[in-house]
Structure 1
């Protein structure tokens, strides 16, 4: 699979992701209670989304990073998992976090999310839990959704930071980091790109929140 050059958005995302991942790797002890609870909730959202998507047999994890969700994706014994990331360094590092038995089921390749190195209708489902929520411009989200529509033959799972129920006077640095999207606009973009909404799940009620969508191709 030929490598596709990452976009400026992906390069910035990869830089931030690499820095955060390096900090996590250097921690001498496991994440605290809050971190474990957050990770448990993320896994719960992913399991629920996969059920809504019909437990797809061939899935592509886009902007996979170190493979945070590979163990959950691999819980379905017959599932085939492809994974791509714009960072070659991250793909080379990811195997250090997972047992060999799991890695046998993962096929990784370097690729931009805006120009995935696969043919049309190549996979049952595209899974993007990290990069999509960092894309703030509508035209960039639409470009990414168009590529997801091309490569997936059935469903797409994405996470979005939505602006519903924003906390009053959130810290400036927190608001800048999250950059929540307008929920109604993002959902219009899903439909504009040729998807219908099968379901959504909110990470937590109230405050700036993450919403996980399951989309189905309609065009």
Structure 2
């Protein structure tokens, strides 16, 4: 068993928020060509992933951080968006980065990622674009996946870094390991997209909940 408790994982999330805050605040300023390409590609793939997931009407953005993807999720006019994060302070911060019109469409609440305060099959789709980039421990990853399986009725969209010798500083996982964990948690893979192949920008998976 890992000696690192779930609470430590969520403290690591909190430590990453200063970096994310800086990133969000830089969004309005000039960015480089590669960064613009990465953002464009990421958003394009998320739109594709949502289509593969059936354009879910009720979505939970888990470990939502500053809400970087809320405008994209809100492009579907009838979509109901829930957003949860382990940090109440981060949720307060997120409210300062979005318009009142967008925030009116989103229900925010504080929640652990290991014990989500929702019933079984509560949402059509869970959306995790940042969460798994902060989970180092394999057992914790599997525990989170099992909790996501409990709460999702149908699909899960997530991003993570597939292990590559070119990016040793990032939290990455071997493709075979994570695919086995998806299956063990009760998910099958509908689609996988590489954001920028060979650039270590991560992969986006669309998973379906198996009965």
Q: Is 1:51 aligned with 2:44? A: no
Distance 2:123 2:27 in 1: 36
Structure 2 equivalent of residue 90 of structure 1: 90
2:193 paired residue number: 201
Tell whether the 8 Å contact from 1:57 to 1:78 is kept in structure 2 after alignment.
Answer: yes
- The corresponding residue for 1:35 is 35
Residues in 2 aligned to 1:28 and 1:103: alpha-carbon distance in whole angstroms: 19
Q: 2:26, 2:200 → 1: CA distance?
A: 29
1:135-194 per-position Cα deviation (integer Å, ceiling 9, x unaligned): 12211111000110010010001111002xx35xx4xxx522x12200011001000001
Contact 1:162 1:209 in 2 (8 A): no
CA contact (8 A) 1:61 1:81 kept: yes
Residue 127 of structure 2 aligns to a residue whose secondary structure is: strand
Please state how far the C-alpha of 1:127 moved relative to its aligned partner: 0.3
State the distance in 1 between where 2:84 and 2:93 align.
Answer: 13
Distance between the aligned counterparts of 1:27 and 1:101, measured in 2?
A: 20
Q: Secondary structure at the match of 1:7?
A: helix
Within 2, Cα distance between the matches of 1:28 and 1:207? 24
Cα distance in 1 for partners of 2:66, 2:7 equals: 19
Counterpart residue number, 1:147:
147
| 3-state secondary structure, aligned to 2:198 | coil
* 204-213 or 38-47, which deviates more: 204-213
TM-score (norm 2): 0.91
**Is the alpha carbon distance of 1:94 and 1:153 closer, same or farther for their aligned partners in structure 2, counting shifts above 3 Å?**
same
- Tell me the TM-score normalised to structure 1 length: 0.87
Q: List alignment gaps of at least 5 residues for structure 1.
A: 1-5
CA distance in 1, matches of 2:191, 2:17: 28
Runs of at least 5 residues in structure 2 that lack an aligned partner in the other structure = 1-5
The equivalent residue for 1:211 is 203
Q: Tell whether 2:107 aligns with 1:114.
A: no
Written as runs of structure 1 = structure 2, the 5 A alignment for 1:75-86 is 75-86=75-86
Aligned pair count reads 206
Matched, 1:175 2:168: yes
- Comparing 209-218 with 33-42, which one deviates more in the overlay? 33-42
Once residues 191 and 69 of structure 2 are traced to their aligned partners in structure 1, the CA distance between those partners, rounded to angstroms, is 20
1:44 is paired with a residue whose SS is helix
Whether 1:15 aligns to 2:7 is no
Change (3 A) 1:150 1:27: closer
